[in-house]
C-alpha cells in the first residue's frame, strides 16, 4: 500500500533526522517539522477523514505506531543531548586547580605612620609614655594656657579652622567660636599637666591643622609629636642631651645637632634644633640651602606661666618641651623634596619605603 510505504519512509527519515540533531535546538526543529501544527505527520493525521472507511482502522494503527516511534526517539535523543550539554557546561566552568594562583598585593605601612612610630619608639625607650588630646580643641588649650592670650602676636603664625557652636551660647574669642582644629600638639602638654602629677615624661603624636596653602614645605594638615618633661631639677642640659640623642637615633650617630635661640610663647628660653645635613655633611648643598644644617624641631624650657596655668608650682618643678613635625622628619630622612608627595597616594613613590 502506497500510504504505508510513505509512512514508513517518513518514519525512517525522521528517525535519521533525530539521530543527526547535534543539539537540543536542532532536535526541536525536527520535532516541529514532523509533529508541529503544520508538521508532516500532523498532515496525515488531519487527512484521516479522506481515508476510505474500510482502511481507516489499519491506517490509524500505522499512524499511531509511527508517531509513537518518533516520540520515543525524540525523548531518548533529548535526554542524550541534555546530558551532553550539561557535561560540556560543567567542563567549561571547571577550575583548573593546577594553574598558579593570583598573588594578593601586599600593602605597606604609610611612611608618615612609620616615622611617627619610629620617633615614638626612641622616647618610649627613654621611659616616656604616650599622651593624647582632642583634635577639635578649645582656644584655651591651643593658645591661652600656652601663654598666648587672645591678643598675642604669635597667634597670627597659626591661623586655623574654627568650629562654630550652633547653640549660639559659646564663649567667643574675637567675636568668633573658641572651638577650633588644633594648630599644634602643644595643647596636650596642658591636658597632661592637668591630668597627672609630676614627674611627667610624655610624648603626644597626632594630627594638627593650619589655614595654610599646601606647598613643598607646608601642609594644611600634618602630624606632630609633642614631648613634655616636668620633674624636679630639670635643666636645659637635660633638654639638649635628650634631643641630641633623639637626632642621632633618627638620623645616624655621625649627625651633629645645633641649638639656635628662638621664640615660642610657652617656653623660656626657646630654641630651634638643626641637624647636620646628611647629603653634604655640613659643607652646604642645595638640599640644606647651602647652610649645612636642616631645621627639625622647636623646643625650650617650659615657661613658668604655663606650669602655673596647669597648677604646677614652678618653684618646685621645672621642665622642657619640644615639638617635631613628622612629615618634615620623613622628608629629611629620605631626601624627599616636597611634603605633598607623602599625600598624593602614588604607590610607586610610597612602596619605596
Question: Is the CB of residue 187 less than 8 Å from the CB of residue 146?
Answer: yes
Question: Is the CB of residue 10 less than 8 Å from the CB of residue 41?
Answer: yes
Binding residues for ligand DAH restricted to 145-184, rule: CB under 6 A: 184
- As beta bridge partners, residue 177 has 172
Sequence-separated (6 or more) residues with CB below 8 Å from residue 213: 220
* 323 near ligand DAH, judged by CB under 6 A: yes
* 322 near ligand DAH, judged by CB under 6 A: yes
CB of 260 to ligand DAH, least distance (A): 12
Q: Which cell is 296 given? A: 627639625
CB of 167 to ligand DAH, least distance (A): 30
Q: What CA–CA distance (Å, rounded) separates 136 from 301?
A: 26
Binding residues for ligand DAH restricted to 185-224, rule: CB under 6 A: 186
Stretch of residues binding ligand DAH (CB under 6 A), selected from 19-27, 82-90, 168-176, 294-302: 294-302
Element spanning 72, H or E: helix 53-93
* 292 near ligand DAH, judged by CB under 6 A: no
Stretch of residues binding ligand DAH (CB under 6 A), selected from 22-30, 198-206, 315-323, 345-353: 315-323
Candidate list 298, 319, 331, 342; residue touching ligand DAH; CB under 6 A: 298
CB of 302 to ligand DAH, least distance (A): 7
* 267 near ligand DAH, judged by CB under 6 A: yes
* 246 near ligand DAH, judged by CB under 6 A: no
| Residues in binding contact with ligand DAH, number by CB under 6 A | 11
Q: How far is CA 168 from the centre of its chain?
A: 37
Q: What CA–CA distance (Å, rounded) separates 122 from 131?
A: 15
CB of 188 to ligand DAH, least distance (A): 9
CB of 103 to ligand DAH, least distance (A): 43
Q: Which backbone phi and psi does 267 adopt, to 5 degrees? A: -130, 150
> Rounded to whole angstroms, what are the CA distances from 315 to 152, 216, 329, 344?
26, 44, 35, 49
Using the 8-state DSSP alphabet, how is residue 158 labeled? S
Binding site for ligand DAH (CB under 6 A): 184, 186, 226, 264, 267, 298-300, 321-323
Amino acid at each position: 500500500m502506497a500510504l504505508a510505504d510513505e509512512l514508513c519512509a517518513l518514519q525512517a527519515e525522521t528517525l535519521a533526522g533525530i539521530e543527526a540533531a547535534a543539539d537540543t535546538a536542532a532536535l526541536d526543529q525536527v520535532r516541529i517539522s514532523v509533529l508541529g501544527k503544520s508538521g508532516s505527520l500532523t498532515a496525515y493525521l488531519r487527512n484521516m477523514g479522506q481515508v476510505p472507511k474500510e482502511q481507516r482502522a489499519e491506517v490509524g494503527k500505522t499512524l499511531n505506531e509511527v508517531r509513537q516511534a518518533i516520540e520515543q526517539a525524540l525523548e531518548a535523543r533529548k535526554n542524550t543531548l541534555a546530558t551532553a550539554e550539561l557535561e560540556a557546561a560543567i567542563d567549561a566552568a571547571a577550575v583548573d586547580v593546577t594553574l598558579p594562583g593570583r598573588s594578593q598585593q601586599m600593602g605597606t605601612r604609610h611612611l608618615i605612620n612609620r616615622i611617627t612610630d619610629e620617633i615614638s619608639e626612641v622616647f618610649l625607650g627613654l621611659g616616656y609614655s604616650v599622651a593624647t588630646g582632642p583634635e577639635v580643641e578649645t582656644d584655651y588649650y591651643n593658645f591661652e594656657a600656652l601663654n598666648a592670650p587672645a591678643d598675642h602676636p604669635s597667634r597670627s603664625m597659626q591661623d586655623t579652622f574654627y568650629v562654630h557652636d550652633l547653640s549660639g551660647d559659646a564663649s567667643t574669642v574675637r567675636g568668633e567660636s573658641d572651638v577650633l582644629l588644633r594648630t599644634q600638639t602643644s595643647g596636650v602638654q596642658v591636658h597632661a599637666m592637668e591630668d597627672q602629677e609630676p614627674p611627667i615624661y610624655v610624648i603626644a603624636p597626632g594630627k594638627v591643622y593650619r589655614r595654610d596653602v599646601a606647598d613643598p614645605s607646608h601642609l594644611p594638615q600634618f602630624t606632630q609629636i609633642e614631648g613634655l618633661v616636668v620633674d624636679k631639677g630639670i635643666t636645659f642640659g637635660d633638654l639638649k642631651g635628650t634631643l641630641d640623642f633623639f637626632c642621632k637615633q633618627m638620623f645616624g650617630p655621625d649627625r651633629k645637632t645645633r641649638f639656635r635661640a628662638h621664640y615660642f610663647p610657652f617656653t623660656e628660653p626657646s630654641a630651634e634644633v638643626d641637624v647636620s645635613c646628611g647629603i653634604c655633611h655640613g659643607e652646604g648643598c642645595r638640599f640644606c640651602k647651602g647652610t649645612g644644617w636642616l631645621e627639625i624641631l622647636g623646643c625650650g624650657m617650659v615657661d613658668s606661666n604655663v606650669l602655673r596655668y596647669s597648677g604646677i608650682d614652678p618653684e618646685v618643678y621645672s621642665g622642657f618641651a619640644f615639638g617635631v613635625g613628622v612629615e618634615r622628619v620623613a622628608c629629611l630622612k629620605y631626601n624627599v623634596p616636597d611634603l605633598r608627595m607623602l599625600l598624593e597616594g602614588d604607590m610607586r613613590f610610597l612602596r619605596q619605603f
